[in-house]
Structure 1
Amino acid sequence: MNSFGFEYPYLLLLIPFFIICFLKCKAKESAIIFPHLNILKKAGSKKRFLLDFLKLTSVFLLVVALAMPIKIDKSVEIKNYGYDIALAIDASGSMKERGFDPSNPLMDKFNVVKTLIKDFIKKRENDNISLVVFGSFAYTASPLTFNKKVLKKIVDYLNIGIAGQKTAIFDAIAQGVSLLKKGDAKSKILILLTDGIDTASQIPLDVVLRMAKKYNIKIYTIGIGSKRDINMFLLNKIAKESGGKFYFAKNANDLKKVYEDINRLEKSKIRGKDFVKKEQLYPYVLFLSIMFLLFYIYLYGRRGV
């Protein structure tokens, strides 16, 4: 999106002073006695108007040039760097279990996870992130976006059971892949977090793995809570076959370390940050000012001819 501005806009305040000076500070010239003055005025009025116009325009453009006009392009992005990330969060009924965070035993697992995910989102400021929530079914809570403030607000509004009480892990992976395949980044990762086993998916495991491989998407799987409640073999298989990694987090401290490890492994370069491209316009304005001034000097020199 293009817009216009000035590097030194305060210099434009000089324009009113020049106008006042032009109106009040008339140059005194030697008097000429002419018997038919009205005829002379008519002959010179048009030329005087043109001279005044050229002089004022030249001064006006000169002041504008001094104010350094610029064209600002805010639509330019750095491409082909960084990551497209899909966060898949388990919101099934089992996530209401408490005691996952030793420092806050009354907080349920889901709210602990929400806090850590928001912190992870904050650290990935140069990445394009989407959000998938799953329970009995999987749905897109947010498409790929750079707007981290909005994304964190969406996380705040999520609740346990919002997608049903069961667990559809494979459907969540498929939903994440469908979001990531639309992204432009060369590096794409899906981070799936669950505290249970798949009990509700409609899409088979081999299908979602083929989808992930087709679009070169790494899957990081995270099992939280108790080992007896998750299928560690399955989560490890998903991660290994997609080029990702499997993690197990017994408590909140472990989970925090997991996200920190993923953040280190998949460190992003600067990508997608809007930057302001400025084009200096003052040479064109200054050129016009000089042209008007030269034309003024030419006509002023010929006024007696």
Structure 2
Amino acid sequence: MSGSEERTLPQEKAAARAFIESVIRSSKDQAAIIPFEGYAHVEQPLTRDVIGIYRTLELVDVAVPSYTGSAPALTGVVSKPGTVGPPLEGTTAIWDAIALTSRQVMARSARPRRRAIILLTDGWDTSSRLSRSTAIDQAIESETIIYAIGIGDSRQEGVDKKVLKNLAESTGGTAFFPKKEEDLRAAFAEIERELRSQYLVAYSSTNKKHDGSFRKMTIEITNPDLRKEQLRIRYRPGYYAKKSG
């Protein structure tokens, strides 16, 4: 959360609670809450405890001043060799949060499982040490889809729509830009529908090398009748061939 979201935070929490209530099935699903003011920190690790998620959600606040709580920071981003840099007041580390969440939270979750990051932000990163491209790579490698919900104060910088669209679409997700509370709830409802109606497509690559490289892929509709309907397929643009061992 960034300072520009101060006025919209109550609506964001209300919509998030409704989403959690309708999507999280305690017998199968898990959720985590990771704020990223100053640096990314795990406020709530992956859990099936819906009540615990609600309680943690209420603790999330905007980043003015920066986070001073006791929740552990996600490690792996350093300001110089061997030291973790202190969070700067009122800053947001979006790319660090995505990269480290993908690597340290999502990648460690049970398989096979659909993984999604729902990112609520204005898109203006001010303190990440990792780049946006690194964040996208980490999400793809951990097979995580990003749904970006762009919310910001129009009286300040507003929302960086171009960046959030690139971030989401590069991982097979989409970006939403709600203007009022009803739009925000509609965005969460659309994400819920997508998570419940995704298709798993598998194939065996002719390239048998497990060298850690990125492999681009394209999915097309070949059925003539379906092509006439001009349906749009959204998917990850590729995958990483994980190294053996």
Q: TM-score range by the shorter chain?
A: 0.5 to 0.7
Encode CA deviations 1:98-122: one digit per residue, 9 max, x unaligned.
xxxxxxxxxx311221111111111
Work out the CA distance in 1 between the residues paired with 2:60 and 2:143. Answer: 29
1:87-106 aligned within 5 A: 90=1, 92-96=2-6
One-letter code aligned to 2:12: V
Bigger fraction of residues in helix:
1
Query: Which residue of structure 2 lines up, in the alignment, with residue 182 of structure 1?
Result: 108
SS of the counterpart of 1:201?
Answer: coil
Which one has more relative contact order, counting CA pairs under 8 Å at least 6 apart? 1
Shift of the alpha carbon at 1:196? 4.4
Structural mapping, 1:136-175, within 5 Å: 136-161=38-63, 163=67, 164-175=89-100
**Inter-partner Cα distance in structure 1 for 2:62 and 2:142:** 31
Q: Is the 8 A contact 2:122 2:160 kept in 1?
A: no
SS at the partner of 2:150?
strand
**Are the structure 2 counterparts of residues 267 and 192 from structure 1 closer, same or farther at C-alpha, using a change threshold of 3 Å?**
same
Deviation at 1:205, TM superposition (A): 1.2
Q: Please say if 1:133 is aligned against 2:35.
A: yes
Any runs of at least 4 consecutive aligned residues in structure 1 with deviations exceeding 4 A, and if so which? none
**C-alpha separation in 1, matches of 2:123 and 2:145:** 21
Q: Residue deviations 1:60-108, cap 9 Å, x none?
A: xxxxxxxxxxxxxxxxxxxxxxxxxxxxxx2x22222xxxxxxxxxxx3
Measured after TM superposition, the shift of residue 175 of structure 1 is 3.1
* Pairing 1:122–2:21 present: yes
Higher gyration radius (CA): 1
User: Are residues 129 and 268 of structure 1, via their aligned partners in 2, closer, same or farther at CA, if it must alter by over 3 Å?
Assistant: farther
Paired residue type of 2:129: Q
Matched to 2:97, the amino acid is A
Report SS of the residue matched to 1:242: coil
- Taking the aligned partners of 1:220 and 1:122, their CA distance within structure 2 comes to 18
Please give the root-mean-square deviation of Cα atoms over the aligned residues, in Å.
1.9
Letter in 2 for 1:166: T
Q: Cα distance, 1:268 vs. partner? A: 7.7
Contact 2:34 2:44 in 1 (8 A): yes
TM value normalised by structure 2: 0.64
- Letter matched to residue 110 of structure 1: L
Matched, 1:240 2:169: yes
**Partner Cα distance (2:45, 2:56) in 1:** 11
Higher strand share: 1
Letter in 2 for 1:121: I
How many matched pairs? 168
TM-score of the superposition, structure 1-length normalised? 0.52
The Cα offsets for residues 28-66 of structure 1, whole Å up to 9 and x where unpaired, read as xxxxxxxxxxxxxxxxxxxxxxxxxxxxxxxxxxxxxxx
Report if the CA contact (8 A) 2:147-2:168 is conserved.
yes
Distance in 1 between the 2:124 and 2:62 partners?
17
Equivalents in 2 of 1:253, 1:167: separation in Å? 26
**Aligned partner of 1:193 among 94, 117, 120:** 120
What is the distance in 2 between the residues matched to 1:134 and 1:191?
13
Q: Which amino acid is 1:255 matched to?
A: L
Separation (CA, whole Å) in 2 of partners of 1:207 and 1:158: 26
